[in-house]
Structure 1
Amino acid sequence: MTAPDNSPDRLLESLQDLLRGPGGAIAIIKNGETFLRHTYGFADLGRRIPLTPQMHMPICSISKHMFCLVLASLKSEPTPLMTKSVGDIWDQASAELQKVLPHLVTQGLTFADLYNMQSGIRDYWAMTTLWGAHPEGPFSILLDAPQTVARTKSFHFQPGTEWSYSNVNFHILGQIIEAVAGQSLGQLLDERVFKPAGMKSAALCPNTYGHPLPVVGYEGDEKHGYTPAVNRIEWAGDAGIVASLDDMIAYEKWLERTYAEAGSLYSTIVAPQTYRDGTAAGYGFGLAHGETAGAAWTSHGGALRGFRLHRIHVPEEHLSVVVLFNHEADSAAPADAIIKRLLQWQEPEKALSTPAPEWQGNFLDTETQLLVHVENIEDGQVSITYHMATEKVPLTSAIHAESKSIIANIAGDELHVERQREHRTLNARRIKSPTTTNSTNEYIGDYQCAEVDSSFHCSPGSGNLLYGSFDGFLGQGPAHLMQYIGEDVWTLSNPRGMDAPAPGNWTIVFQRDENGKISGVTIGCWLARLIQFAKVL
């Protein structure tokens, strides 16, 4: 078979359908050299300003592992303040965590759980919905972030036993770094990451409303039109860095140069991590680990309303890809396609199986109380929706489906899904489809969760349409549409939030007392589970 033409021009031609949108920036670094440096489209559609490689975009959660590089640097090069304290960065950070979240440390939380996303702490951006936030509303590091930490009183799983994405982990990590080092995150990043990497214009910019001009981020799509996104949140630790494509090219070259150096910052943070039981974890120090086309990689994505970003490094192939979009298309897809093409990956032929009809339906996971929706697909796959994104899993038999990260089985009304990346197995039961519509009047009312300081209002609509809204320290939030699933299970639609991607659908599970009356509700999503509300009116 003739190898494909992988010249930069041919690569770009092969990606056209994945790149459509207002603008984008793509880089490929091979063997430490720039193989492709390409920008296209517009930084600002309204003013018709072309996007260039020198223009800044927020790299959002890609920032996380850069803060971990700072953390690693404080081990070998402690600040003057650190030399006056006992122990190294890990000892001092653990002591500081005890001050920030003492009640959770006594329940098993460790500092490593933060940067490995194993803390069991609910994501604070998801929780802002329950605290009455509006998507375009303000969120202050100084005024609002401390209130979110104060309301962090329990886990949605025991630390070290699972993986679940939580931005508050890295917000607290950033807090701890500043307290221990006695220097600002911006100064530490500049001295220990940006300058060594040759990132000439990268900076920490916590205020998303004050990002460097002229790049505008866009919500929407080609069919419905693009609208400038308005972001007014502040973040640092979990995100906050702005960088140009040229900055990211310099950064990837620096990582490539230092990867094999014993004791380098990068070699420290790519070290494999484990769960408490010794099982290998697929995430650590702000980096995801996986493989594409048989080659191992480390990567991370980033998102904010109006932006989608992705970077990936394949060390054994000396290959890095960076994709920066000022719109909300999937930035990981072109990066994945580039790697597969450069490594001449051929998709294996699928052994098509006909799915058993039992797959189709809605299921409720017993432990997380989250909805799992499954659909049959004709090409030998089932689609499973548990997170916001639907995952297609190939069938290996009529009742068994398996991918690199998911193993699923159906047995009548029982669904079992092993989510290997999260170290969690879902044991879900089928939700009986409604034959008649329950009276919605019994659900209507006000509910209160004292632990997180949130009020939930279930309001009437038309027929079986209900609306849900939340009040909290951030205000009175907007009304969201609710959808009846069956039994006492509903979903609440939340496609837009302060951060991105938003929670998507929350699962709403009403409870009844011994007399059959609605007495409370459990509310949760993939980022924040098992929040109990009691009916008060």
Structure 2
Amino acid sequence: MNRSLLISLLTVAMGSAQADPVDDFVTSSMAAQKIPAVVIGIVKDGKLVRKQAYGKIDLELDVDAKPDDIYEIGSITKQFTAFATLLLAEQKKLSLNDSVDKYIDNCPEIWKPITIRHLLYQISGLPDYAFVPGLGIVGEFTKDQFLTTMAALPLDFKPGVTWAYSNTNYALLGWVIEKASGIPYPRFVEENIFKPAGMTQTFFGDNATIRPRRAHGYMNNQGEIIRAIAGAGSIASDGSINSTVEDMAKWDALLHEHRLLSAESYALMWSPAKLNSGRQRPYGTGWFLGDPSLPDYVGHGGNSSGYSAGFARYTKDGLSVIMLSNLYPVSGEQFCRTIAELLEPSLRAKIPEEKPDPQKERTQKIKAAVLTFAEGKQDSNCLEEEVLAPMRTQRAAMSPVWQTVRKLTELKFAGETKQGKDTLLTYRLLTPDRNFTAYILWSDHSKIAQMTLKADPPKA
């Protein structure tokens, strides 16, 4: 165990009177974002070494949060759905190369080239039902209504062309699991994952049942905290699980011990998505993967009506951080990563040193291409189709993530490595508001094929 991490964890366990940077971060974040309640869990080598609650699970009744309170975990549900799919593949009840047509009755013609593998890795091209009128994450609709509505929409791109996050992928996987297993999706997950893991306080969305110590959900409506609309939605498999920090630590222990699945399936779970071009994207089966500066990281966030959650795992260090909260929206995964970096400073992304630029003309072309992308201009002269296709999705149209990059002033070279025909370039991307480390995959056609940004700490 890293010495600095050992000291951090011992300080926590002994209840030291020393200043606790994790406490400081959690309480300051709650104040800044107006989060009513947060529960955190810190796991080392599969063992829960800290669980702590902050704030209120009910603002109206002034109920203090406790470490074993229940919260929705949102899209962290997806990793359970993916795990269940891999279990069925090992049982020979499905193949990842099967068409969805085999499991979805009256499958639309344009969906037939889509495989289970495409769904798992979010490379199917299916538009996200979360943004479709009449459906949505908390909407009430039948399976037939869902399929009829979605079948009328064109694909965002052909299967395998690129990666784009879409809840529709995991909605369909729930029905695939039901058809392949012969039992309802929630029951399959409960019997084959929750029960073996010992997750006794974990269940699928159920707003009618009285659940002691279930946190009330809230929304941040332009700075005003309001009660969230209660609604489990109509889809279970993309984001409806409720759980506790204790149970999520049991899930982490199962993963740490590589139980229930073969080594081959675990490798698949945490392998990057492979595109038709041969390029990759840093997403496994229900897991975001680390960037080039942190290859041993896997994690995911979750947002649902009134709740946000995060789960971050550093496999090399045996460190995991869990966060559950009763406010939407909060970036739960980043919340967890910050806690991990406070416990183990070596996990912080190192800012690369600038180097002499061997191709300044190339850098100027890349700078222009970055600005084109940040401004949302779909220019095929400087952007590969893998980059252009996600820009056309509804999710991308609503994302403000690139607004800061539009203020780009300087792009400073920091390194390069070959990746097949392409070149992975590292740059320091400077703006008046915030600086970034940019990992840019520059294709053999002199176009951006992928771009990943790692933000520096905010400027004072």
Partner of 2:55: 41
Provide the rounded CA distance (Å) in 1 between the counterparts of 2:57 and 2:159: 42
Residue type of the alignment partner of 1:324: L
The answer on whether the counterparts of 1:301 and 1:311 sit within 8 Å (CA) in structure 2 is yes
Structure 1 pair 313–362 and aligned structure 2 pair: CA distance change class (3 A): closer
Q: Does 1:71 align with 2:72?
A: no
Which range moved further: 285-294 or 25-34? 285-294
Partner of 2:102: 96
Provide the rounded CA distance (Å) in 2 between the counterparts of 1:53 and 1:386: 35
Which range moved further: 298-307 or 263-272? 263-272
Counterpart among 339, 351, 358 of residue 348 in structure 1: 351
Residue type of the alignment partner of 1:111: I
Structure 1 pair 343–182 and aligned structure 2 pair: CA distance change class (3 A): same
What's the CA shift for 1:105?
4.1
TM-score (norm 2): 0.72
Residue type of the alignment partner of 1:230: I
Show the 5 A alignment for 1:168-207.
Answer: 168-205=168-205
Q: Does 1:11 align with 2:22?
A: yes
Partner of 2:43: 29
What's the CA shift for 1:277?
2.2
What's the CA shift for 1:56?
1.7
Q: What is the CA deviation profile of residues 72-95 of structure 1, one whole-angstrom value per residue up to 9, with x for unaligned ones?
A: 1123346xxx5xxxxx44466655
Partner of 2:377: 364
What's the CA shift for 1:35?
2.2
Residue type of the alignment partner of 1:114: L
Q: What is the CA deviation profile of residues 219-244 of structure 1, one whole-angstrom value per residue up to 9, with x for unaligned ones?
A: 127x8331111043222221221111
Partner of 1:229: 228
The answer on whether the counterparts of 1:161 and 1:276 sit within 8 Å (CA) in structure 2 is yes
Q: Percent identity?
A: 20
Provide the rounded CA distance (Å) in 2 between the counterparts of 1:408 and 1:286: 23
Give the secondary-structure state (helix, strand or coil) at the position aligned to 2:87. Answer: helix
What's the CA shift for 1:41?
1.0
Partner of 1:512: none
Structure 1 pair 330–76 and aligned structure 2 pair: CA distance change class (3 A): closer
Give the secondary-structure state (helix, strand or coil) at the position aligned to 1:246. Answer: helix
The answer on whether the counterparts of 1:163 and 1:421 sit within 8 Å (CA) in structure 2 is no
The answer on whether the counterparts of 1:259 and 1:266 sit within 8 Å (CA) in structure 2 is no
The answer on whether the counterparts of 2:37 and 2:326 sit within 8 Å (CA) in structure 1 is yes
Partner of 1:289: 289
Provide the rounded CA distance (Å) in 1 between the counterparts of 2:438 and 2:208: 37
What's the CA shift for 1:334?
2.5
What's the CA shift for 1:420?
3.6
Q: What is the CA deviation profile of residues 12-66 of structure 1, one whole-angstrom value per residue up to 9, with x for unaligned ones?
A: 2344322432001111101222222111111111111222233221111101110
Provide the rounded CA distance (Å) in 1 between the counterparts of 2:166 and 2:48: 34
Structure 1 pair 359–27 and aligned structure 2 pair: CA distance change class (3 A): same
Structure 1 pair 273–175 and aligned structure 2 pair: CA distance change class (3 A): same
Residue type of the alignment partner of 1:119: S
The answer on whether the counterparts of 1:97 and 1:105 sit within 8 Å (CA) in structure 2 is no
The answer on whether the counterparts of 1:220 and 1:226 sit within 8 Å (CA) in structure 2 is yes
What's the CA shift for 1:405?
5.8
The answer on whether the counterparts of 1:58 and 1:211 sit within 8 Å (CA) in structure 2 is no
Structure 1 pair 406–92 and aligned structure 2 pair: CA distance change class (3 A): closer
What's the CA shift for 1:398?
7.5
Partner of 1:298: 298
Residue type of the alignment partner of 2:28: D
What's the CA shift for 1:392?
5.1
Residue type of the alignment partner of 2:52: H
Q: What is the CA deviation profile of residues 283-329 of structure 1, one whole-angstrom value per residue up to 9, with x for unaligned ones?
A: 12111111496352111111113211110111111111111111133
Partner of 1:121: 126
Partner of 2:399: 387
What's the CA shift for 1:349?
7.4
Give the aligned CA root-mean-square deviation in angstroms: 4.0
Partner of 1:52: 66
Provide the rounded CA distance (Å) in 1 between the counterparts of 2:285 and 2:170: 10
Give the secondary-structure state (helix, strand or coil) at the position aligned to 2:38. Answer: strand
Residue type of the alignment partner of 2:107: L
Provide the rounded CA distance (Å) in 1 between the counterparts of 2:332 and 2:292: 16
Q: What is the CA deviation profile of residues 161-214 of structure 1, one whole-angstrom value per residue up to 9, with x for unaligned ones?
A: 111111111111111110121101111111111011111121122x56768464
Partner of 2:333: 332
Residue type of the alignment partner of 1:364: K
Partner of 1:485: none
Structure 1 pair 398–89 and aligned structure 2 pair: CA distance change class (3 A): closer
Residue type of the alignment partner of 1:74: L
Give the secondary-structure state (helix, strand or coil) at the position aligned to 1:317. Answer: coil
Give the secondary-structure state (helix, strand or coil) at the position aligned to 1:157. Answer: coil
The answer on whether the counterparts of 2:97 and 2:117 sit within 8 Å (CA) in structure 1 is no
Show the 5 A alignment for 1:77-88.
Answer: 77=91, 82=93, 88=94
Larger radius of gyration: 1
Q: What is the CA deviation profile of residues 402-439 of structure 1, one whole-angstrom value per residue up to 9, with x for unaligned ones?
A: 55665499xxxxxx7654469xxxxxxxxxxxxxxxxx
What's the CA shift for 1:269?
1.9
Give the secondary-structure state (helix, strand or coil) at the position aligned to 1:364. Answer: coil
The answer on whether the counterparts of 1:208 and 1:231 sit within 8 Å (CA) in structure 2 is yes
TM-score (norm 1): 0.62
What's the CA shift for 1:333?
2.8
Structure 1 pair 24–159 and aligned structure 2 pair: CA distance change class (3 A): same
Provide the rounded CA distance (Å) in 1 between the counterparts of 2:281 and 2:412: 30
Residue type of the alignment partner of 1:69: F
Which range moved further: 158-167 or 211-220? 211-220
Which range moved further: 325-334 or 302-311? 325-334
Give the secondary-structure state (helix, strand or coil) at the position aligned to 1:365. Answer: coil
Which has a greater percent of strand?
1
Provide the rounded CA distance (Å) in 2 between the counterparts of 1:369 and 1:310: 24
Structure 1 unpaired stretches of 5+: 83-87, 372-383, 410-415, 423-537
Provide the rounded CA distance (Å) in 1 between the counterparts of 2:208 and 2:307: 13
Which has a greater percent of helix?
2
The answer on whether the counterparts of 1:27 and 1:34 sit within 8 Å (CA) in structure 2 is yes
